Amino acid sequence: MIETILEILKQSDADDYKIISSKTVSNEFFFVQHKLDMNRKKEVEHIQLTVYKKIDHDSYLGSSSCEIHPTMSREEVENAIKNLCISASYVKNPIYTLNGSNHKEMAERKAVDAKKAAQDIIATVKSCNESENEKINSYEVFVNEKEIRIINSQGVDVSYSNMDSMCEIVLNAKNETHEVELYRNFVFGTCDRDYLKTEIENALQSGKDRLRATNTPNLKKGTVLLSGKNVCSLMRYYISRCNVQNLYTGISDFSLNESITKEEVSGDKVTLMGCASIENSGSNAAYDSDGHKIEDRILIQDNICCNYWGNQQFSQYVGKSEACIFSNFKVEGGQRSVEELKMQPYLEVVEFSDFQTDPTSGDFAGEIRLAYYYDGKKTTCVSGGSISGNIQDAQKNFLFSKELKQHNNMIVPDTVCMFDVNITGIEE
C-alpha cells in the first residue's frame, strides 16, 4: 500500500507529505481472579498520511491528514489524497519546513518474545502472596509489538520496532465488616518479575491499611507528601510548559535562560530532562513522529529553562530549539532522603480517586482514598476528603527526595513535599 500511496502522491498536487505506518501485533488476556475471562489477539496496520500545501506564494503551509486503510482501493486512495490536497489549502498556518535530514535508517531490532512476556506477567501475578483477606480481584494483560516506519517528501525514511506491556490489576482487602478496593496500572517494556511482584504485594498491604483508616482530619492547610505516580502528574506541568506548542499558543510563559518561577525559591529546584530511552520503558523509540533521531536534552536545570521540546512545526515557530518529540522524561532528586522528609508532621497521600494537575493553571487536586497522617508523635491511616493547591505556590519551597523511582517512561523523585496545601478533611 505504501508504494501505491507514494505513486499517487507523485502525481498529485501535494507539495510535501509525511507517512507514518504502524503494524501492531497484540496479545491480550483478561482475568476474573485467576480465571480466564477472555483471550484476544490483534493484528492491525495503520497508515497515517499528512499532505502539505504551500499557500499564498509560500507564505503559509497548509496540512491535512487522514488514515489510508490497507483495504482501500486505488480509487479510494486517489480520492482521499485529492481531498487532502483541497482541505490542506484552507489550513493557513505560517510557513515551516518538514524534517529534511534526508535520513534513511532502520534502527536495530531487538529480539522480543511477546507471548513469553505475557506469560511472565500472568505467572508473576499468579505467584503473588495472597491471603483470605487480601486478594487479587481481577487483572488484564496487554503486550504489544509494534513496527513503525516514517517517510516524508524530504528524504526521511526511518523505521524501528518496540514492545510495550500493560498490566491493569484490581485488588481487594477486607476485614469482618468492610472491604476496600485498590487499582494499579503498570506499564513497561517487558516483564520485570521482581518489580511487578513487589508492587502488587505492596498494594495488598496498602489495602490492609485502608481498612483501618479513620476519617481525614479537617486540617485546612498542611504539609503534604506525594509519592508514586502522583509525582509524575505534578511534574507533567513542567514538561507541558517546556513544550513548543504550548509556548506558541501562550499556555506556557517559560523563557529560555530565565527562571521558571517569578520569585526566589527556598527549597529544591527542578531539573528536568527529555530522554532518548529509559531502561524497560514502554515508550522507547529511536525516532519521533517527524523522523528525528531522539537524543537526550536538558529542559530545565535548577529552575532555569534551558531548552524546549516538541514537533517540527512549532519548534520552527518558536524558533529557539531543535525539534524533538520526547516520550521519556527524568526529574532529578533533591537533598533530603525520604526518611528526612518524614521527620516533621505531614499528610502523605498514597492513593487518590484521581489526582489531577491542570497544565494551564497549575491547579492540582484529588480525593483522598488512603493517606498516612503523622502529627509529630504517631502515624495514622486516614481516608476521605481531598487536597488542593497550585504548583506556582507549591514550587516556592518544594522538597524532593534524594531517592528516585521509575514509573514506565518517567523517572521522578520518590517523594515530593509541599507546604501549605489545602486539606479538606471530613472529621468534624
Site for other proteins in 160-219 (CB under 8 A): 168, 170, 172, 179-181, 183, 185, 218
Question: Which residues lie below 8 Å from residue 160, measured CB to CB, with a gap of 6+?
Answer: 106, 107, 109, 147, 148, 285, 286, 287
Residue among 290 and 332 whose Cβ is closer to other proteins: 290
When asked if residue 63 is in the footprint of other proteins (CB under 8 A), the reply is yes
User: Does 32 participate in binding other proteins (rule CB under 8 A)?
Assistant: yes
Number of residues that bind other proteins (CB under 8 A): 80
With vertex at residue 148, the alpha carbon angle to CA 143 and CA 149, rounded to the nearest 5 degrees, is 170
Among 206, 385, 416, 417, binds other proteins (CB under 8 A): 385
Q: Is 91 in the site for other proteins (CB under 8 A)?
A: yes
- Binds other proteins (CB under 8 A): choice among 4, 101, 119, 337: 119
**How far apart are CB 293 and other proteins at their closest, in Å?**
25
Q: Which of these segments, 330-338, 373-381, 384-392, 401-409, binds other proteins (CB under 8 A)?
A: 384-392
Tell whether residue 56 is a contact of other proteins (CB under 8 A): no
393 makes contact with other proteins (CB under 8 A): no
Q: Is 367 in the site for other proteins (CB under 8 A)?
A: yes
The smaller minimum CB distance to other proteins, of residues 149 and 369, is found at: 369
The reply to whether 93 sits near other proteins by the rule CB under 8 A is yes
CA distances to 166, 181, 194, 227, 301 from 406, rounded to whole Å, are 15, 24, 14, 11, 20
CA–CA separation, 291 and 152 (whole Å): 8
Is residue 71 part of the contact set for other proteins (CB under 8 A)? yes
Radius of gyration in angstroms for the set of CA atoms belonging to the chain, rounded to a whole number:
25
- Give the binding range for other proteins (CB under 8 A) out of 103-111, 273-281, 304-312, 366-374: 366-374
- Chain residues 268-307 in contact with other proteins, contact rule CB under 8 A: none
- Smallest distance from the beta carbon of 222 to other proteins, in angstroms? 12
CB under 8 A: which stretch of 96-104, 276-284, 321-329, 380-388 binds other proteins?
A: 380-388
Instruction: Report the half-sphere exposure of 347 (CA within 13 A, side-chain side).
Output: 31
Select from 388, 403, 405, 420 the one that contacts other proteins (CB under 8 A).
388
Which DSSP string corresponds to 291-348? SPBP--EEEEETTEE---BB-HHHHHHH-SS--B--SEEEE---SB-HHHHTSS-EEE
Instruction: Give, as ranges, the residues between 243 and 262 that touch other proteins (CB under 8 A).
Output: 248-251, 253, 262
Choosing from 3, 11, 354, 377, the residue that interacts with other proteins (CB under 8 A) is 354
Q: For other proteins, which is the closer residue by CB, 83 or 335?
A: 83
Asked whether 365 and 387 are in contact (CB, 8 A), the reply is yes
- Identity of the residue, 194 or 354, whose beta carbon is nearer to other proteins in the bound complex: 354
Distance CA 225, CA 184 (A): 20
- Grouping H, G, I as helix, E, B as strand and the rest as coil, residue 46 is strand
Torsion, Cα of 222, 227, 229, 233 (10° steps):
40
Beta carbons within 10 angstroms of residue 408's beta carbon: 22
Closest by CA position to 96, among listed 320, 325, 324, 317 = 317
